[in-house]
C-alpha cells in the first residue's frame, strides 16, 4: 500500500522563513509614497507597522529566524500534512500524480494565521496595544483575532459589508476570540462615512476596508495596522508552507512538474511556491511550471495593467508596482471573497514579468464543480477560493490523461469551506452564476492610476 499522507515531526518544522528577495535576478521596484510619489522609507511606514516587519519588508537576507514564541504557536497545528490525492486521481482516471498540502487544519481554517501570529508577536514586542485590519470573506479577520488573542492585543476588524451579511459565522469567530468587527463602509472612519454618503447600500470592497483600517491605525498612537496578504513580509511568513512541502515531496520521492494555487493578494500560493521557484531561478528546475489561478470576475494578473497603483480605494496606502484593475475597481460579489482584490503581491507580479510564473483566470461555476469533485473524492469541502486552484489542478490532470503523461502536480490547498455552505447551496440548487469580465468597469478604474515620474514607469 502506497503512502497517502506525508507527515513531518514537530522537530522537523522549518525554523526560518525564506526571503525570495535574496535570490531575485532583478530587484523589486520600490514602494512609493502616496503623497510625494517618491520611494518610501521606514519612517513613512512606522505609524502603520512594527519596525521588525518594516525591516523584513525590504530585507535582502535569504533566511530570517522564526522567533521561538511564534514557533510555539505554529506547533498548535503545524507542520501541516501533505496528501497524495489517490482517490481524486482515480476519479479522474489520470496518470498524473496529484499532491496537496492542506492548510485547513489551523484553528481559523486557512493558511492566514501563519502571518497573523508573526505580526501580532512583533507588534506585542514593540509595545502596541491594538491592531486594526480589514477582512473580505472573514478568514483574515478571524485569523488576526485568533493571533491577537494569544498575545493579549485588542483587535478591530473592518469587514466588507457583503461578506459581513453573508457570513455571520466568521464575525462570531472573531468575537469568540475577543475581537470587534464592524461592516465596511462603517461610520467609524472618514473613508467609510464618505462612501456611505455617496452610496448608502455600498456592498464594500477590500480596497475600501483597507482605507478604513489604515485611517484607524494612523489616528491612534496605540494602534498599528495589519495586512493579511500582498506585502513582502506576509508572503515570507507563508514560506513555512513551501519549505515543509519541499521536505514532504522529498519523503514522497517526487518533485513537482506543476504547482497550482489560487491568488487573492497572493500570500498562500507564493508561500507555497517561492522555495520551489528558487530552484527555477537558479536553473536547477528550468521546466517547473507555476500556475497562479484567479477568478474571471477579478482577473488582476491576466487582464490588469502592470503599473504603480494605490493599495486602497482612498489612496492612503503606499503605491506599489503591480498588476492592477485600478484601485477604484469594485469586483462583482462572487463567493470567493478572498480573491476580490484589485491588486496583487508585487513579488508575484515581478516573477510573472520575469517569466518564472504564469497565470490563468477561471469562471465561478467551474470552480464549484471542481470543488464538489474534490469533496466527493478526497472528503474535504474546500473554500471557494481554493476551488479555483482545484479547477486548474483537475484540468491539468485531465490534460495528462489525454496526453498519456504522468506529471507530478502539487496543489496549494489554502483552507476549508465550512463557513461557505451557503455558496455551496447556491451552486447545488442551480442559483449560482458566472460573472463575465467587467471590462468597462476595469477601463474606468484604470483611468485613475496615480501619476508617477518617468523613472518609475
Ligand atoms: C484569504 C484566502 C485566500 C486568498 O488570499 P491569498 O493572500 O492570495 O492567499 C485563498 N484561500 C483562502 C482559504 C483564504 O482564506
Helix (H, G, I), strand (E, B) or coil at 212: helix
CA 136 / ligand 1 centre spacing (Å): 10
Q: Is 268 in the pocket of ligand 1 (CB under 6 A)?
A: yes
In the chain, DSSP finds a helix count (H) and a strand count (E) of 19, 15
Q: How far is CA 49 from CA 132, 224, 405, in A?
A: 11, 6, 48
Q: Is 229 in the pocket of ligand 1 (CB under 6 A)?
A: yes
Strands 97-102 and 180-184: unpaired
CA 385 / ligand 1 centre spacing (Å): 6
Whose CA is closest to atom 13 on ligand 1? 415
CA 442 / ligand 1 centre spacing (Å): 22
CATH number of 5-10+79-109+240-456: 3.40.50.1100
Q: Nearest Cα to 410, choosing from 231, 238, 247?
A: 247
CA 120 / ligand 1 centre spacing (Å): 19
Residue 1 is predicted with a pLDDT of 61
Q: Where are the domains of the chain?
A: 5-10+79-109+240-456, 15-67+111-225
Q: Is 92 in the pocket of ligand 1 (CB under 6 A)?
A: no
Task: Report d(CA 148, CA 112) in Å as an integer.
Answer: 13
Q: Nearest Cα to 53, choosing from 224, 170, 304?
A: 224
Residue 154 is predicted with a pLDDT of 98
Whose CA is closest to atom 7 on ligand 1? 267
Q: Which cell is 420 given?
A: 461557505
Work out the number of other CB atoms within 10 angstroms of the CB of residue 30.
Answer: 18
Instruction: For ligand 1, pick from 80, 136, 139 the residue to mutate: most ligand atoms within 8 Å of CB.
Output: 139
User: Is 15-67+111-225 in the same CATH topology as 5-10+79-109+240-456?
Assistant: yes
CATH number of 15-67+111-225: 3.40.50.1100
CA 413 / ligand 1 centre spacing (Å): 10
Q: What is the mean pLDDT of each run of 10 residues along the chain (457 residues)?
A: 91 98 97 94 93 97 98 98 98 98 98 98 98 93 98 97 89 97 97 96 87 94 95 98 98 98 97 98 97 96 96 85 92 80 96 98 97 98 98 98 97 97 95 88 89 86
Task: Report d(CA 88, CA 372) in Å as an integer.
Answer: 11
Amino acid at each position: 500500500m502506497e503512502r497517502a499522507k506525508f507527515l513531518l515531526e514537530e522537530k522537523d518544522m522549518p525554523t526560518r522563513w525564506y526571503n525570495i528577495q535574496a535570490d531575485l535576478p532583478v530587484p523589486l521596484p520600490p514602494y512609493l509614497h502616496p503623497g510625494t510619489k517618491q520611494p518610501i522609507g521606514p519612517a513613512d511606514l512606522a505609524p502603520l507597522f512594527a519596525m521588525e516587519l518594516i525591516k523584513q519588508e525590504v530585507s535582502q537576507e535569504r533566511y530570517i529566524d522564526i522567533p521561538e514564541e511564534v514557533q510555539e504557536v505554529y506547533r498548535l497545528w503545524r507542520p501541516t500534512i501533505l496528501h497524495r490525492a489517490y482517490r481524486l486521481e482515480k476519479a479522474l482516471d489520470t496518470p498524473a500524480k496529484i499532491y496537496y498540502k492542506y492548510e485547513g487544519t489551523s484553528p481559523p481554517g486557512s493558511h492566514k494565521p501563519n502571518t497573523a501570529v508573526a505580526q501580532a508577536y512583533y507588534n506585542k514586542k514593540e509595545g502596541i496595544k491594538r491592531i486594526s485590519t480589514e477582512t473580505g470573506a472573514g478568514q483574515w479577520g478571524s485569523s488576526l483575532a485568533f493571533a491577537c488573542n494569544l498575545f493579549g492585543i485588542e483587535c478591530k476588524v473592518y469587514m466588507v459589508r457583503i461578506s459581513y451579511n453573508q457570513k455571520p459565522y466568521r464575525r462570531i469567530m472573531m468575537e469568540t476570540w475577543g475581537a470587534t468587527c464592524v461592516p465596511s463602509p462603517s461610520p467609524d472612519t472618514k473613508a467609510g462615512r464618505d462612501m456611505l454618503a455617496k452610496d448608502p447600500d455600498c456592498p464594500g470592497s477590500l480596497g475600501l476596508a483597507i482605507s478604513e483600517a489604515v485611517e484607524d491605525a494612523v489616528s491612534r498612537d496605540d494602534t498599528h495596522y495589519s495586512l493579511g496578504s500582498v506585502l513582502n513580509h506576509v508572503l515570507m511568513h507563508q514560506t513555512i508552507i513551501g519549505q515543509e512541502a519541499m521536505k514532504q515531496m522529498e519523503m514522497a520521492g517526487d518533485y513537482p512538474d506543476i504547482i497550482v494555487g489560487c491568488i487573492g493578494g497572493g500570500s498562500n500560493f507564493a508561500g507555497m511556491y517561492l522555495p520551489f521557484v528558487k530552484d527555477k531561478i537558479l536553473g536547477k528546475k528550468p521546466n517547473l511550471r507555476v500556475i497562479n489561478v484567479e477568478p474571471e470576475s477579478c482577473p488582476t494578473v491576466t487582464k490588469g495593467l502592470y503599473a504603480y497603483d494605490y493599495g486602497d480605494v482612498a489612496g492612503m496606502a503606499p503605491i506599489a508596482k503591480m498588476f492592477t484593475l485600478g484601485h477604484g475597481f469594485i469586483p462583482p460579489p462572487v463567493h470567493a471573497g478572498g480573491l476580490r482584490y484589485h491588486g496583487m503581491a508585487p513579488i508575484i507580479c515581478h516573477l510573472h514579468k520575469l517569466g518564472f510564473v504564469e497565470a490563468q483566470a477561471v469562471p465561478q461555476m467551474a470552480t464549484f464543480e471542481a470543488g464538489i469533485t474534490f469533496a466527493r473524492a478526497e472528503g474535504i469541502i474546500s473554500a471557494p477560493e481554493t476551488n479555483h486552484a482545484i479547477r486548474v489542478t483537475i484540468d491539468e490532470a485531465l490534460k495528462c490523461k489525454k496526453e498519456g503523461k504522468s506529471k507530478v502536480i502539487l496543489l496549494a490547498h489554502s483552507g476549508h469551506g465550512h463557513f461557505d455552505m451557503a455558496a455551496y447551496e447556491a451552486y447545488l440548487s442551480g442559483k449560482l452564476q458566472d460573472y463575465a469580465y467587467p471590462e468597462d468597469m476595469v477601463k474606468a478604474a484604470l483611468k485613475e492610476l496615480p501619476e508617477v515620474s518617468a523613472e518609475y514607469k
